[in-house]
Structure 1
Amino acid sequence: AIDLLAKGPDAAPEIGEAFLKSRTLAIWRKALLAGPASSIDATLETLKQDDGLEACVSVAWMPASALAASPRRFVRLIGLNSSRWPRGIAEDRLIPDHIIPTAVLDPLPVSLADRRDFDTILATTGGEIVLSRARRDSDGRLLGRSPLLAGHREEIYLRRNAVPVHAFSETDRLMARPQEFATDLQAVSAQSCWRDWRRPEITAHDGLIRADHPLVLAILGRTQSASSLRRLLRNPLSFVWVYAFGWREPQSSAEPLVLDALDVGDLVHMVLDRALRDLEAAVGLASADANTIEAAVARAAQAVAADWESERPLPPGVIWARTLDDARLMAGRALSYGDDHLPSTRSYGEVPFGGSEPKSEAQLPWDPGAPVTIPDAGFNIAGYIDRL
């Protein structure tokens, strides 16, 4: 299958025969006849398909210009709002009005054509015609009436919560039958949540659970990190959501334009850790001068960039180069700034404790698997120390 797909657009007929069948294969063949294989995605978006229904006895959706040319017995016109229909006359983008006047360039302006189509629809509709407009747009702003409605004064306001004569869907049916909807489990849950929202006491919808809940005891007994302890102290409900329910913010599939703060921190930490290991393996950070630190940071940044590019999505080249420069600058300042180093001192980076797995094979100052317990609290903690 991979070898066949690797042939690309030139093998589109062969690929379709191998992977598709029945109606999807027929659509694929029709798209290849309508346009080139290299742009088949665009062809499929605009390709019209026969739905197998007879247009004369089915509900048809069409623009006003098509309706004026093919009258129907029952018609509903929607979107009769000011500035929406009839459409306004706009100056041609390629030939402006001062070169060729619009009246000469376009003897039948779109506004005049819309008015003519409207009059034609009113005159040719045999049974019933409904004129419809929206009161507000998608942002909630009030919309005006179309000037075409000037001779039609009476309006019937259709409310959203009106009981439908014919149910369009299951939701429509339940809204038309309040007694049946009141017994639905989702409705009962929503109503209880609505009532609890206005009650002053703490309820289950606020996160109240029974004492010694086994799930809460399990997540409290786990080895904690700095972030989980901070979340537990500041937002206990969020602590339950994240560590008991496993809720996480979905990651975007789009490639990043810039690295976020967390990724920048990871990048700087990786550069620091590798540079620190190189320095300790050579002269040691306590004995290293500025040039030695700068060279070690440059080598570390180059190595980390190669690993990063093979494992994670990258921003555009110019931004990525600037990000690496910033990481080198921050890592260099972090290693050269601070108190004077005492003789025979050793420096470590990304030091694990409490059972965390080491991020490298560098020498460690202690056993990373030894448990670390907060006194008088009963919490075991684990994590990494950036620099020791």
Structure 2
Amino acid sequence: MYFKLNFNKNLVLMYAISLLQGMVFYGSVSTLYRQAVGVTLFQITLMESLSMVLTIVLEIPWGILADKIGYKRTFVICSFLFFVSKLVFWRADSFADFLTERILLAAVISGLSGVDTSILYLSAKGKDTQRIFGFFNTMSVAGLFLASGMYSLFIGKDYRMAGLLTAVSYGIAAFLSLWLTEVREETKETERKNSWQIFCQTLPELFGRRNVTAFLVSMALVSEVYQMTTVVLNQPQFQKCGATDKQIGLLFLLLTICEMTGRLSARITQKISETAMFLGAFLIPGICCLILAGTNSLAISAFAVMLIQVSFSLLQPLQTEMQNRMVVPGHRAAMLSVYAVFMDGTAAVVDLLFGKAADFHLPLAMLLGTLACTLGLFLYCRGSRKKNTI
């Protein structure tokens, strides 16, 4: 299957860009990188929350603009902004500097929201898209694995060098984006609407279609549990269990390998059903967070975090597929941006709660993860019982 897909230029370029943008050389020590210049855990999550709020503000304008100027042009602009954000991160040495990086990142995330998946979806003509999304995510993880391996073997504690190499990788990715071919969605003349009309129509419909709203919020909850436990809080958790920087780097490599399981998402979904996949995505991280809250064992902590990584990696292509099924042809980016607003709004609140809890007592933040997964499971099950199920 993937051998055939290699003849599609856009897919090849998108896979290469995903690989390069996955090469975050400081990934295994991103929290420690910030803490080294005096940034606290709460400040880190505060930056995440502020970034989410800005992402929400920019989501709809970016989505509307993307439908007007084209997906390729939007992707190119965001890719170069991504490159600039990594240059800022490389030289950052204060809370204000890192906040600037997060502000730039918010502009990038809101701009790419729905655009990257739209390019993949339309380039593949809507065929075998869950597998394509899974492979796209896997390439990003492969890049992270390579970068993390190089960090552990050659870079050591030189955080600045890791930041510089990351910026170089993102710069190459930005230039590759210039060679993408524009893709457009064919629509009947009678179906064409102004993107702003699509937004105004979609927003109230979401409030009316509670199953869709419940689905989006539930996905946001489990996504933030993943983000907090595998990116932000895992490093302090491992340190609490006595891990050294080198051990943390090696554990990050294992997490990266686990993330590659996203490529199996479509195959596993076919075997166990979409419903079973979603249920597992809430139950597994919920139980693992409970374990993390009560253990001081490095081995148990590492195993629990890896399970969370695997469950979310398998979920991500499926939830992306589900969101793409719910759009109006011709306005894919605008509608996906509307959906992202709900998810980002939830994430902004959850991030602050995690940060405050972590600064007070790390196990309390892990228990919050269990609570978030429980609430997400409740919302998903409630939404699935509605007549117009997802």
User: Please, what TM-score do these two structures have when normalized by structure 1?
Assistant: 0.18
The structure whose RCO (Cα within 8 Å, separation 6+) is larger is 2
Quick check: which one's helix share is greater? 2
Quick check: which one's strand share is greater? 1
| Structure number with larger C-alpha Rg | 1
User: Please, what TM-score do these two structures have when normalized by structure 2?
Assistant: 0.18
